[in-house]
């Protein structure tokens, strides 16, 4: 699918934000905070100005499905194209767990990943939102990198983006925004393959069939679709083993 020819824009900032210092798990604020004009864009601009290998690079992008996830993905995709990335790997529905993102980064030799999550913090319009940066090794960004991102946010005078329609994420497929390819994949498949290489599924499945009932409560968070595929489809656990398995914006 080709998105209509986008227009590149440079949005000016009157004053840089001074409160975007990431912690060990990224930048976390209330959902309302991230809806401030230019707030998310400012932090993403600092990431793209600081992360090594952006021009011509590959980025992994997804989140835990909380409120603001889809909007943030749209913002990041348009900004990624404006900054010269050649390839972004996104996931259906924008759903991607942190361990699965780490695996995708390493598998595709990406320059890193942006994971939209505030971990265990509640989601929703009155909950929290977060932006985490992972490096090329799949792990959380180093303190030196997050320090550089923070310094960049303090001196920004604007950010680059493209004016383009939102990209559909409802099913796998390839798209283009400007000169950048966006590959939408099933966010669970690669992670399941990794688990099958690490664990003996035949023995685990035999255990579950041999009068060893379990219940997994995903609490409507990102792990639900991974757990349903693993337990109920791959390991033959009874249907209903996974409770609250559909990710919700306000889990």
CA distance 186 to 6: 26
Query: Which of 20-29, 73-82, 220-229 is predicted least confidently?
Result: 20-29
Query: Which of the four pLDDT bands, split at 50, 70 and 90, describes residue 82?
Result: very high
pLDDT tens digit string along 192-219? 999 999 999 999 999 998 888 899 999 9
The answer to whether residue 176 scores a pLDDT higher than 90 is: yes
Other Cβ atoms within 10 Å of 187 Cβ, number: 25
- Rounded Cα gap, residues 76 and 78, in angstroms: 5
Q: What is the pTM assigned to this prediction?
A: 0.94
Annotated active-site residue 119? The verdict is: yes
Say whether pLDDT at 245 is over 80: yes
Q: Is the pLDDT confidence value at 24 over 90?
A: no
Mode of pairing for the β-strands spanning 7-12 and 58-63:
unpaired
pLDDT over 70, % of the chain: 98
pLDDT of residue 191: 96
Residue 154 contacts residue 16 (beta carbons within 8 Å): yes
Burial class (CB in 10 A: 0-12, 13-18, 19+), 102: buried
Q: Are 193 and 226 in contact (CB under 8 A)?
A: no
Widest CA span in the chain: 65
CA nearest neighbour of 145 among 58, 236, 27, 15: 27
Assess whether pLDDT exceeds 80 at residue 246. yes
Q: What is the pLDDT of residue 165?
A: 86
pLDDT, position 99: 95
Provide mean pLDDT across the span 71-86. Answer: 98
Residue entry with tokens 């390819």: 181
Q: Quick one: pLDDT at residue 5?
A: 67
Number of residues assigned to the chain = 251
Residue 19, pLDDT score: 96
Q: Calculate mean pLDDT across residues 53-67.
A: 97
Task: Choose the catalytic residue: 81, 119, 142, 205.
Answer: 119
pLDDT for 74 equals 97
């Amino acid at each position: 699918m080709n998105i209509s020819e986008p227009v590149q824009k440079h949005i000016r900032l009157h004053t840089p934000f001074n409160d975007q210092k990431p912690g060990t798990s990224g930048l976390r604020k209330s959902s309302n905070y991230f809806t401030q004009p230019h707030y998310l864009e400012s932090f993403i601009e600092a990431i793209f100005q600081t992360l090594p290998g952006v021009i011509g690079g590959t980025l992994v992008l997804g989140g835990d499905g909380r409120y603001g996830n889809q909007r943030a993905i749209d913002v990041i995709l348009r900004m990624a194209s404006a900054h010269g990335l050649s390839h972004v790997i996104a996931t259906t529905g924008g759903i991607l767990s942190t361990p699965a993102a780490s695996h995708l980064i390493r598998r595709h030799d990406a320059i890193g990943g942006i994971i939209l999550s505030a971990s265990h913090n509640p989601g929703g319009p009155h909950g929290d939102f977060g932006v985490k940066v992972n490096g090329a090794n799949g792990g959380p960004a180093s303190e030196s990198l997050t320090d550089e991102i923070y310094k960049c946010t303090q001196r920004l005078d604007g950010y680059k983006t493209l004016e383009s329609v939102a990209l559909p994420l409802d099913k796998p497929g390839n798209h283009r925004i400007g000169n950048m390819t966006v590959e939408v994949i099933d966010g669970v498949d690669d992670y399941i393959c990794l688990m099958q290489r690490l664990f003996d599924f035949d023995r685990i499945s035999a255990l579950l069939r041999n009068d060893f009932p379990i219940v997994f409560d995903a609490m409507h968070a990102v792990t639900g679709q991974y757990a349903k595929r693993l337990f109920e489809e791959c390991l033959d656990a009874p249907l209903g083993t996974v409770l609250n398995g559909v990710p919700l914006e306000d889990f």
